[in-house]
Amino acid sequence: MSDVIRSEFGAVSGAVPLRGRARWRDGLLAAATWGAAAAVTWFLPDVITWGATGLFALVVTIGAAIFLALSFAVPRLGEGARTLVHYGPWFIAIGVWFTVWELLTAKLGWLPKPFFSPPQGLLHVYVTDWERLLVCVAYTARLWGLGFFSGIVVGFAAGVALGWSRRFAYWGMPILKLIGPVPASAWIPCTFFIFPSTFHASIFLVALASGIPVAILTAAGVEQVNRSYYDVARTLGASNRYLIFKVAIPASLPNVFVGLFMGLYYSFAVLVVAEMLGAKFGLGWYLQFNTAYSAYANVYAALIVMALICAGLVRLQFILRDRLLGWQKGIL
């Protein structure tokens, strides 16, 4: 390993010299905190018996062993370990959180059952109820996919029309500003009358929540395009169709992606409400069903699944944005 890489690890990632080599200090600290969580889980008695206590202790112990091994392996990996090094403090914080969480719930009982669950309670839900969770994820993915993608398609088309045509904006923008601030859940009474089934009504609510921010920000992006771009294109003989698809839309893509990020979060916020409309499966239904029976461990487990899915979709949007807007690097 070169001196440059070694000095970089020493300054940035917490590596310190060890017999002429370097070790990842954050990895050692992460191993210590995860090991502490495993020791607390296994050796201290539970106030109330929880399932999967031994399994959680085993999982955390394995995590501690992995971090211990990585603390010596990361300095040898060089640039390939940059992501691990970046999230090193987070790994430490997660280990501390596991320890505190375990103490406050299962060991001391300061956060009592059923309102709070220790980490092994959530793990027990994943082990015993994973089949129903997968079915609910599939149903939610279908509802969300139909609603979100239909919403952003309609919102994008409406936004381009609003930003391009003054006549369309004259009539459409006041309507959009009128219904935009209204929460999507407020349209539930209307959806019962308009749509033939609760499933179609749920799709409409998700589409409405995701489409409005896309429409507003797309319209703003098209309207803010530098007029000199249009003048140059018209001088070269460009038609209106060319101006829309080759000038206006590409130039407004930064605004469009901001609308997509907002629409994604709004769609997940509405998803739970949308699945209250007679749904038989889905993560929103799962939350409602288990809340009614005070099974809060199942509720927290489903919330974590929803958060991970949403975070993954956001990450995918960032990747797509970076690929489509690579021409902006060095400009903005």
Same domain, 88 and 211: no
Three-state SS at 15? strand
pTM (global) more than 0.85 = no
Same-domain status, 118 and 254: no
**Integer Cα distance of 107 and 127 in angstroms:** 22
For 155-204, what is each residue's pLDDT tens digit? 999 999 988 888 888 888 888 888 877 877 788 778 777 887 888 888 88
Distances (CA, A) of 154 to 137, 143, 182, 208: 25, 17, 18, 10
* Count of beta carbons in the 10 Å neighbourhood of residue 50: 20
Query: Which among 110, 126, 142 is the end of a domain?
Result: 126
Is 17 domain-assigned?
Answer: yes
Domain closes at, from 81, 96, 126:
126
What SS3 class is residue 17? strand
In a domain, 94, yes or no: yes
- Return the SS3 of 2: coil
Q: How many domains is the chain partitioned into structurally?
A: 2
Per-residue pLDDT tens digits for 92-109: 999 999 999 999 998 988
pLDDT given at position 29 = 94
CA distance between the termini of the chain: 36
Same domain flag for 198 and 316? yes
Domain of residue 79: give its range. Answer: 3-126
- What is the DSSP annotation of 87-121? THHHHHHHHHHHHHHHIIIIIS-SS-TTT---HHH
How far is 225 from 264, CA to CA, in rounded Å? 25
Phi, psi for 16 (deg, rounded to 5): -125, 155
Q: Give the C-alpha distances (Å, rounded to integers) separating 62 from 45, 85, 89.
A: 21, 19, 19
Instruction: Check: CB of residue 85 under 8 Å from CB of residue 12.
Output: yes
112 with 202, same domain?
A: no
* Cβ atoms of 75 and 6 closer than 8 Å: yes
In the listed set 126, 146, 161, which residue is the last one of a domain according to the structure?
126
Assigned domain for 332 exists: no
pLDDT tens digit sequence for 2-49: 443 344 344 444 444 444 347 889 989 999 999 999 999 999 998 888
Q: Do 321 and 253 lie in a common domain?
A: yes
Q: What is the largest CA-CA distance in the chain?
A: 80
Of residues 234, 262, 236, the one with CA closest to residue 248: 234
- How would residue 122 be classed by pLDDT, with cut points 50, 70 and 90? very high
Q: Which CATH number covers residue 319? A: 1.10.3720.10
- Please indicate, yes or no, whether residues 175 and 320 belong to a single structural domain of this protein: yes
